[in-house]
Amino acid sequence: MCLREAGVALALALAVVLVGCRSAATRPTDSPRPDDGPGVTLWVKGMSCPLCASNVEKQLMRVPGVTRVRIDLGSGAVRAALRTGTTPSEAELRAAVNASGFTLERIELPSPTSAPSGGS
């Protein structure tokens, strides 16, 4: 009788975890914003919950020059703000995403023409 109850409790706990993970997939955790300063936008496939986003964030924060990470779970957009004058390589960024267990679909690097102009 005790084993049966334990099995039911385990099944319920697993169901709560799975449903909770999927229900969070439609809510962005921290939407990327244009006011983050210089940075790169990564498009990551497979993130579906805040724990997924946390794993990606932790790995990207280990990349030299990354100062802040913002993630939108709904779109898969990951904005990595960079220290001024620092640009990590695509290989470093890809390795960080891969280490978190997800797939990097594409990287949008800042364009040199996006710097503010000095005249009016």
User: Is the model's pLDDT at 101 over the cut of 50?
Assistant: yes
Residue 89 within a domain: yes
Number of structural domains in the chain: 1
Q: Which residues contact 83 (CB under 8 A, 6 or more apart)?
A: 65, 66, 67
Residue 5 within a domain: no
DSSP codes of every residue in 86-109? ----HHHHHHHHHHTT-EEEEEEP
User: Is the model's pLDDT at 2 over the cut of 80?
Assistant: no
More confident residue, 110 or 120: 110
Average pLDDT score over residue span 4-23 = 48
Output the domain CATH number for residue 98: 3.30.70.100
Lowest mean pLDDT among 28-32, 91-95, 99-103: 28-32
The reported pTM is 0.64
Token digits of residue 72: 């939108």
Name the residue range of residue 74's domain.
Answer: 25-111
Residue 102 within a domain: yes
